[in-house]
Structures are given as C-alpha cells and as structure tokens.
Amino acid sequence: MNNSEHISQELWERFERYLDHSMDESERLEFESQLSSNPDLRAQLDEAEQLISGIETAVLQSKLNEFHEDITPVRPITPPEKRKNRTWMWSVAAVLVATIGLFWIFDTGSETEKLFAKHFTPDPGLPTTMGENPNYNFYDGMVNYKQGDYKSALQKWEELDEHSIGLDTLNYFKGVAYLAEGNTEKSIGFLQSLWDSEENSFQSETAYYLGMAYLKNRNIEDAIKYLTFSKTAEAEIILLEIKD
C-alpha cells in the first residue's frame, strides 16, 4: 500500500458509506462524480476498500480455525502406495466368508433382496456446480441423479468423455446409478473395474456399493468380501445381519 496521505474522519466515513451501499442516491451520484474527476480520491477509496477487506479477511481466517476445531476428523484413508497390499484384507474376508458360509442357511433369493432393500441408499451425490462449469454435462446428470432420475443421469454420463470429470468419479457414480436402477450387472462392471484400478477416490464407498451389488445379485460370498473391505459403519451392520 503506497497511499499514506491523511484521510479525514469525515472522508473515511464517506468511504464506508459508499462501500457498504448506505449512501442515498444523490450523495452517491455526487460522490461518483468526484471520484471520476479526482484520481487521488479514487486511490484513497481503493485503499479504504483494501483495508476493510483485509480486516474482514483476517477476522474470517481466525474464525475458520475455530470452525475447524469442531469438525469430526474424517476416517483414515489408506495412502495410495499402501493400497496394493490387500492380502491381509482378503484373509480377513476369507475367514469371515468361511465362518459365515459354514452356517449359511440363507434362503438366498428373498433374504438377500430384503437385506438389500432395507439398507440400500444411493450415494447422496456431489454438490452441483454453476452452469459455466466445464464439467457441465456431468453436473447436469448429477442433478438428475440427486432427483432419483437415474435413467436421465446415466444417459448424460454415458455420453461423457471419460477425462472430463475424472474416470474414477464418473465410473463410481455410474456404478451407483445402475445399482439404484436395478441393473446389477452393469453396476458391478463399473464398480469392479474401479475397485481394481489404482486411481480411485472412492475406495471405501466403491467396496460398499460393490458389496451391495453382489448382495442384490445373490452372490453372498462376494457381498461379504467387499462389505468387509469397505469398513463403513453401514457395512458392518449389514455383515452382522447376514451373520444373524
């Protein structure tokens, strides 16, 4: 800031009134006319605006730290380099499958359907962004998705260039939308390839919906396997109900 000229209290308060739009029409017009003919006055107004904005931003920044303290930490996520080592998870899943499988008296058809229907809720979706967004078509489909119109969402998403939003995001929501629509085969296709890929921002969620897709498909063994991987609270509840 290089404008260190004196600003009188009266002028400062005029700046404030102008900046917070509290001048009446005649005062504003007169002030704007002065501004247009007096570059020094304009420079001082700019300085006042920057000062006030700086004060507000400094206060907000300190408040953000306070807001942050109240946030519950997100569940820990496996870093990408460790994701490949899933051996132990497969072992846990295998033991579970064996234990549960031995005592399995599930009347597969109706029971798995009931369990699926009881617990399945589609991912709430991503916040939809402004119209000018370069990923407009994706978010346009997301609006349909959030309204429960999976068919329209999928139509829009199927036409998308895979790189427009990120392959993992696209495949994840396609997988969930197909599942919500009842097309488990297609759902598994997208979710399984996503699970097998390295680039996946929705690791835990993918496993969860993959497990749900297998559950709906009456494939209990894979359902248990992926629900175990997902480690979400919801998956644990379903696993307990399967055991029961």
Per CB under 8 A, residues contacting another protein are 1-2, 4, 7, 9, 12, 47, 50-61, 63-65, 67-68, 70-71, 73-74, 77, 80, 126-131, 133, 139, 143, 200-203
* CA–CA distance, 75 with 116 (Å, rounded to integer): 24
Of 52 and 100, which has the nearer Cβ to another protein? 52
Helices (H), 103-230: 108-119, 136-146, 150-158, 167-181, 184-196, 203-216, 220-230
Of 109 and 131, which has the nearer Cβ to another protein? 131
| Shortest CB 232 distance to another protein, Å | 13
Distance of CA 70 to the CA centre of its chain: 20
* Range 199-205 contact pairs with CB under 8 angstroms and sequence separation of 24 or more: 199/167, 199/168, 200/168, 200/172, 201/166, 201/168, 201/169, 201/172, 202/168, 202/169, 202/172, 203/77, 203/78, 203/83, 204/75, 204/77, 204/229, 204/230, 204/231, 204/232, 205/123, 205/172, 205/230, 205/232
Of 18 and 116, which has the nearer Cβ to another protein? 18
| Shortest CB 108 distance to another protein, Å | 34
Of 116 and 202, which has the nearer Cβ to another protein? 202
| Shortest CB 127 distance to another protein, Å | 4
| Shortest CB 77 distance to another protein, Å | 5
Of 116 and 139, which has the nearer Cβ to another protein? 139
| Shortest CB 184 distance to another protein, Å | 26
* CA–CA distance, 174 with 232 (Å, rounded to integer): 21
